[in-house]
Structure 1
Amino acid sequence: MANAPRPDVAAVIPGYGNLHGFSSTFDVSPGVHSVCAFALNASPYGDTNPSLGCRSVTVSGDPVGSLDGASAVLGGIRVSGWAIDPDTTSPVSVKVFVDGVAVAEGAASESRADIASVFPRYGAGHGYSVFAATSGGSHRVCVEAVNLPPSGTINRNLGCAVVVVSGQVFGNVETIIGGPGGVFVSGWAIDPDTGDSIVRVTLDGATVDIPTARTRPDVTAAFPVFTGAHGFEKLIPAAGGARRVCVTLLNQGATGADQPAVCRSVSVLSGNPFGNLENAVRTGTGISLSGWALDPDVAGPVSIHVYVNGAWGGSFTANGRRGDVGAAFPGYGSAHGFVIPLSAGQAPVSVCAYLINQGPGSTNPLLGCRSL
């Protein structure tokens, strides 16, 4: 419909107003096309639809599109926009270049209703959002739409942007506790510039550096762009008593800084083994003792020596699973429970259990005696 304002036409042909301009867009395939426009005669006068003219138009087969956004994200840059190849309604590929080097590629297949309204022939599935991993610092990122056959001659540059990516080390210090014979620390760390990190533990002024060499599938799942091991876990030897411990995530790359230290005061257990003789009961064949035992200087199980009426009853190991003990004494594990069967007649007996010391303790303490 020729109903767009054209004041120039109104000036040349006065009396007809200025609403006689037209502008139309048509979807056509790439290539050379002859385009002709005709004015349709309106009754009652005139007997033909005159030609307004013809033009030869070449429609490019090169892809078109736009880089709408480029932003720094954890570990790199995310670019977004849209791309269409006139030869197909299918999604096209876009390549991401960082500082002139191709580092990522993705499909422009996300829904973009705004693009469908402008190019209805091609539908909505032509948006893209692609992540490109890179080190910290300032980077020039460019996006290119890949041309598809049969026509077109170039991969279209959709735009470039300069993005500053943080190289700051990040992670989490999950545990700082007193453990068997020292201080137990654990957690994870990632430096975006290198993919790994170094953790520095300061214990009463002395430092120990720990590499992030422990596999952490949960961290890898959360940050899949950073492959490899990111966890740390170590028991730092220390004498018993109150200790001041700080953990710092060290920055490894050219950008960023060390993560501020996480500090805690902890108590390192040491000395004689201890535990609880929870039950001593008669059974159909004798006596059963049960409970738990732990030596603060070692994570392994404790030996228990039992005497019945003062006579040797045997040596046993407290290595049964006790989740409650493991939760109460983190760093020692849960293998500290015991159930000890003893043969005994029906006559009254006295049963005593002693814990065998394994570290700096001074004695094998009595766990308890029961008369049955």
Structure 2
Amino acid sequence: MFRSTTTSGRRRPLRSALGMVAALAIAVSGLTIGTIVSEQTTTESASAATAAGFDPGNIISDANFYNGSAMSAASVQSFLNSVVPTCHTDGTPCLKNFAQTTPKISAVSGRCAALGGSKMTGAQLITAVGNACGISQEVLLVLLEKEQGLVSAGASADTKNKPNWPTAYKYTHATGFACPDTAACNPAYNGFFAQVYAAALQFKRYQASPTSWAYQAGRNNAILYNPNAACGRKTVYIKNQATAGLYIYTPYTPNAAAMANLYGTGDSCSAYGNRNFWRMYTDWFGSPTGGSSPIGSLDSLKAGFKQVVVGGWTADPDTTAAIKAQIYVDGVGKASVMANAVRPDLAARLGANNTAHGYTATLSGLSTGKHTVCVFGINTGPGSNTLLECRDVTVSGGVPTGVIDAASAVAGKLTIRGWAIDRDSQSATQVQVRADGKTLGTLTANAAKSGLNAAMPGYGDNHGYSGTVQGFPAGTHTVTVHAKDLSNGKWTQIASRSVSQATGYPWLAVDEVASKAPGKLLARGWAIDPDTTGTVRVHFYLDGKALTSIAADQTKTGLNNAKPGYGDKHAYRLERSGISAGKHSLCIIAINQGPKNLNASICKPFSTPTGSPKVTVDQAASAGLGAVTVSGTAYDPDTTAAVSLTYTVDGKQVATGTANQTKSGFDSSHPGYGNAHGYTQKLTGVGPGKHTVCVVAKNVGGGSNASTCKSVAAATGNPTLLLDEVSSPAPGQIRVRGWAIDPDTAASLRVHVYFDGAAGVSIAADQAKPSLATVYGGFGGNHAFSSTFTGKKAGATSVCVFAINQGAGDNTEVCKSVTVQ
């Protein structure tokens, strides 16, 4: 994936300079012994690499690779200064002098923290990326050198060595990220910051999904010697994730020729990337895989009942196996425990598969007072034991301790909870609750309080107290809790809190005052007197006159949350009928129960419903020839009675009615009015075409008549044909009589008459028929026809009459049989 054939055969003779940097850092910082050990591990005296020390399956340990705090910015800067004491350049700065304004990069979950957004030196940038991504600054320095020779660029004054001076290209492609052997570099990752960050993020991606890549730790892997596949492969058992990451990043392993000339070139099948990484790391920072002392930390010290609980982690870079943590108290060995507890937070430091290095120990039998606790990581292999840290801790004893977690007062009752411990005993003690020095009650601190033993190790969780005591006075007072010292019976104050108890006139709330139906009144809300948890009486005055009084004793969910200690049963609800139409004022008075004889009152205006009727037309549609059906609802806000309706078609009144039919659900949407406000009406006498149908509701009370209109298309289609008579009034005669109307027109139709299937005659249906004008007023009365046909042969004859269609639809046919005389 990335370029790997940089040979860079020069030895890095920087061991003595590096040792001087480390010594100077220690000398001027005033570090503790534990910190000095850690710093010495970080800047271990290096030694020249020999090919015999190279293990292709374990190029670098996870502990060294994923140590994001391996070097500080000052240490990186000192290192760069020692590599290039004097910068030789044609103008491009050496890395020790390089600086760049970095873009702000958001955090990548599980990979790298947010960073950037400021100007940084090269050393600061390398340190920040290492910290953010959990990749060793030593690793990043070696990566920059083995890819572009950027760390040492400019070290030589020889102008013949100008190719090894710093160049823009080297910064542009600093870590070789997105620069494959088979194609040009991807410009999206150009630039020093982009290269360093992208490489670190990529290594974290490898670590986060180790089974998603071609090369994996814990198995044999067939790895190419060279981009030229003809050079063959080597089977390598990769022992850890850091080594797997190096092979994914630079997918070649050195052949024998490359290893035979460790600081030079091999043959045409040699590749040098991972060889050079191991060699440069060894030259600069010592063994990449071990040879160093344990690392770790003392994370927590919790003092408890004659004991201290110690927690932290320790690991030896020489092995992924757990090592021992030895713990000393006041210089005397107290415990030796295996640091083998899983600590997921160590994944970024030690690798995802190397997190079982946590330790905890309970050091019991300690006397009260101050103690010094020291923890050592016990070395395995090369190196020596490491003092992780010494820390002072005080094992408490003597007077009791505790807290008030919560306290509130309502109507003379104080409710309180917390915990109390006699430091000299695991037994439950008692607490006195006092207000302004006066004892109100005694409670036993023996209730379970989750997490108490974790905070106070050895005492257990059963030291909680809670209860309600009487006699708390109104106003604000100092509440103190006193715990009993079980050794001498004395009471010791352990906690105090200022607590206020409300007093005064009632709290009154009005949630609603409304009239939602004629003559109806609804009032609801809640009332509490702060001086009592009992029920308050609420009086109602309508327009200045006493209406009624009720108890505020109904349940209002959530009221106790708003007013703790009083409960939910303080709501009121009043419903009244017979309220006169118009505007009104309702005053609600909560009657005081406490010492201050002040009632609480709120007045609210309201009006009974009034206004013009409300009419809906839910449906209006053709109901056959000359007819329309209309339906909906209508009501007048001033009354629950049914309202009168008038129906018009194109402005002409055609019918009247009453909106008194049952309409399911109407009362739900119009509370108090009932369901009997629906109507359905068939309107006749409607002519062809579109019409405007209006429903007009007659007003009762305030307002005026109201109407709602809809456009309706009359019936269309085939003509309507009726034969009133087919007879033989005399020998050789047939009389045909009837009427025909086409719904699409008021004009008269032609009617065709056929005898025994033979073409007959065409006559006009334009004669007057008074009843048609009555039933089908919109079409008029002139749609009848009557004709007598002569010269017909005696006997049975089939007579078929066709009304000839004028608009949409087909002709209409009616046939009858007649016996001709």
Q: Following TM superposition, by how much is the alpha carbon of 1:83 offset from its aligned partner in structure 2, in angstroms? A: 0.5
Q: Kindly indicate whether residue 576 of structure 2 is the aligned counterpart of residue 240 of structure 1.
A: no
Cα distance in 2 for residues equivalent to 1:242 and 1:314 = 28
Match of 2:528 among 190, 194, 206: 190
One-letter code aligned to 1:206: K
The SS at the match of 1:266 is: strand
Cα distance in 2 for residues equivalent to 1:226 and 1:72 = 11
Q: 1:322/1:126 Cα in 2 relative to 1: closer, same or farther (>3 Å)?
A: same
Aligned to 1:10: none
Aligned to 1:226: 566
| Contact 2:543/2:586 (<8 A) preserved | yes
One-letter code aligned to 1:198: R
Q: Following TM superposition, by how much is the alpha carbon of 1:255 offset from its aligned partner in structure 2, in angstroms? A: 5.2
User: Which range moves more in the overlay, 250-259 or 168-177?
Assistant: 250-259
List per-residue Cα deviations over 1:48-83 (Å, max 9, x = no partner). xxxxxxxxxxx99xx933565886556654546540
Q: Following TM superposition, by how much is the alpha carbon of 1:241 offset from its aligned partner in structure 2, in angstroms? A: 2.7
More strand by share: 1
One-letter code aligned to 1:170: W
More helix by share: 2
Q: 1:253/1:315 Cα in 2 relative to 1: closer, same or farther (>3 Å)?
A: same
1:82-121 paired onto structure 2 within 5 Å: 82-84=419-421, 87-88=425-426, 107=447, 109=449, 116=455, 121=458
The SS at the match of 2:530 is: coil
Aligned to 2:604: 264
Identical aligned residues as a percent:
18
Aligned to 2:665: 320
One-letter code aligned to 1:242: K
Q: 1:170/1:314 Cα in 2 relative to 1: closer, same or farther (>3 Å)?
A: closer
Q: 1:105/1:319 Cα in 2 relative to 1: closer, same or farther (>3 Å)?
A: farther
| Contact 1:97/1:104 (<8 A) preserved | no
One-letter code aligned to 2:632: S
Aligned to 2:401: 65
Q: 1:134/1:257 Cα in 2 relative to 1: closer, same or farther (>3 Å)?
A: farther
Aligned residues: 297
Q: Kindly indicate whether residue 588 of structure 2 is the aligned counterpart of residue 251 of structure 1.
A: no
Q: Kindly indicate whether residue 526 of structure 2 is the aligned counterpart of residue 176 of structure 1.
A: no
Q: Following TM superposition, by how much is the alpha carbon of 1:267 offset from its aligned partner in structure 2, in angstroms? A: 3.0
Q: 1:175/1:352 Cα in 2 relative to 1: closer, same or farther (>3 Å)?
A: same
Q: Kindly indicate whether residue 545 of structure 2 is the aligned counterpart of residue 206 of structure 1.
A: yes
List per-residue Cα deviations over 1:2-26 (Å, max 9, x = no partner). xxxxxxxxxxxxxxxxxxxxxxx99
1:1-372 paired onto structure 2 within 5 Å: 27-28=305-306, 64-66=400-402, 72-73=408-409, 77=414, 79=416, 82-84=419-421, 87-88=425-426, 107=447, 109=449, 116=455, 121-122=458-459, 137=474, 165-168=501-504, 169-179=506-516, 180-181=518-519, 183-195=521-533, 196-208=535-547, 209-220=549-560, 222-223=562-563, 225-227=565-567, 229-235=569-575, 238-254=579-595, 257-259=598-600, 261-269=601-609, 274-279=613-618, 281-282=620-621, 287-296=629-638, 302-304=641-643, 309-310=654-655, 315-317=660-662, 320-321=665-666, 332=671, 340-342=679-681, 347=686, 368=707
Q: Following TM superposition, by how much is the alpha carbon of 1:317 offset from its aligned partner in structure 2, in angstroms? A: 3.7
The SS at the match of 1:251 is: coil
Any stretches of 5+ residues in structure 2 without a counterpart?
1-302, 308-364, 368-396, 648-653, 713-821
| Contact 1:104/1:132 (<8 A) preserved | no
One-letter code aligned to 1:315: N
TM-score relative to the length of structure 2: 0.28
Cα distance in 2 for residues equivalent to 1:111 and 1:134 = 32
Cα distance in 1 for residues equivalent to 2:444 and 2:675 = 54
One-letter code aligned to 1:287: T
One-letter code aligned to 1:303: A
Q: Following TM superposition, by how much is the alpha carbon of 1:231 offset from its aligned partner in structure 2, in angstroms? A: 1.6
Q: Following TM superposition, by how much is the alpha carbon of 1:251 offset from its aligned partner in structure 2, in angstroms? A: 2.1
Aligned to 1:56: none
| Contact 1:305/1:313 (<8 A) preserved | yes
List per-residue Cα deviations over 1:126-182 (Å, max 9, x = no partner). 6767676888636896757699xxx98979786799966223422421223345325
One-letter code aligned to 1:258: N
Cα distance in 2 for residues equivalent to 1:153 and 1:335 = 78
| Contact 2:478/2:497 (<8 A) preserved | yes
List per-residue Cα deviations over 1:195-247 (Å, max 9, x = no partner). 33222333322234332133222324544633353222224554333333333
Cα distance in 2 for residues equivalent to 1:121 and 1:189 = 49
| Contact 1:302/1:355 (<8 A) preserved | no
Cα distance in 1 for residues equivalent to 2:637 and 2:304 = 84
Q: Following TM superposition, by how much is the alpha carbon of 1:283 offset from its aligned partner in structure 2, in angstroms? A: 5.9
Q: Following TM superposition, by how much is the alpha carbon of 1:351 offset from its aligned partner in structure 2, in angstroms? A: 7.4
The SS at the match of 2:401 is: strand
The SS at the match of 2:532 is: coil
Cα distance in 2 for residues equivalent to 1:197 and 1:229 = 10
Q: 1:71/1:223 Cα in 2 relative to 1: closer, same or farther (>3 Å)?
A: closer
The SS at the match of 1:303 is: coil
List per-residue Cα deviations over 1:233-289 (Å, max 9, x = no partner). 224554333333333333223357433x3333333346x873223455116686242
Q: 1:122/1:83 Cα in 2 relative to 1: closer, same or farther (>3 Å)?
A: same
| Contact 2:305/2:459 (<8 A) preserved | no
The SS at the match of 2:555 is: coil
Cα distance in 2 for residues equivalent to 1:133 and 1:273 = 61
The SS at the match of 2:632 is: strand
Structure number, greater radius of gyration: 2
One-letter code aligned to 2:420: A
Cα distance in 2 for residues equivalent to 1:218 and 1:123 = 36
Q: 1:292/1:307 Cα in 2 relative to 1: closer, same or farther (>3 Å)?
A: closer
Cα distance in 2 for residues equivalent to 1:264 and 1:355 = 32
- Relative contact order (alpha carbons < 8 A, sep ≥ 6): 1 or 2 greater? 1
Cα distance in 2 for residues equivalent to 1:207 and 1:82 = 53
Cα distance in 2 for residues equivalent to 1:290 and 1:94 = 74
User: Which range moves more in the overlay, 193-202 or 94-103?
Assistant: 94-103
One-letter code aligned to 2:608: V
Cα distance in 1 for residues equivalent to 2:666 and 2:471 = 46
RMSD: 5.6
Q: 1:135/1:316 Cα in 2 relative to 1: closer, same or farther (>3 Å)?
A: farther
Q: 1:314/1:216 Cα in 2 relative to 1: closer, same or farther (>3 Å)?
A: closer
Cα distance in 2 for residues equivalent to 1:227 and 1:356 = 49
Cα distance in 1 for residues equivalent to 2:592 and 2:568 = 17
Cα distance in 1 for residues equivalent to 2:537 and 2:443 = 28
Q: 1:186/1:313 Cα in 2 relative to 1: closer, same or farther (>3 Å)?
A: closer
Q: 1:186/1:294 Cα in 2 relative to 1: closer, same or farther (>3 Å)?
A: farther
Q: 1:135/1:304 Cα in 2 relative to 1: closer, same or farther (>3 Å)?
A: farther
The SS at the match of 1:217 is: coil
Cα distance in 2 for residues equivalent to 1:124 and 1:256 = 48
| Contact 1:304/1:353 (<8 A) preserved | no
Any stretches of 5+ residues in structure 1 without a counterpart?
1-24, 36-58, 327-331
Q: 1:234/1:355 Cα in 2 relative to 1: closer, same or farther (>3 Å)?
A: farther
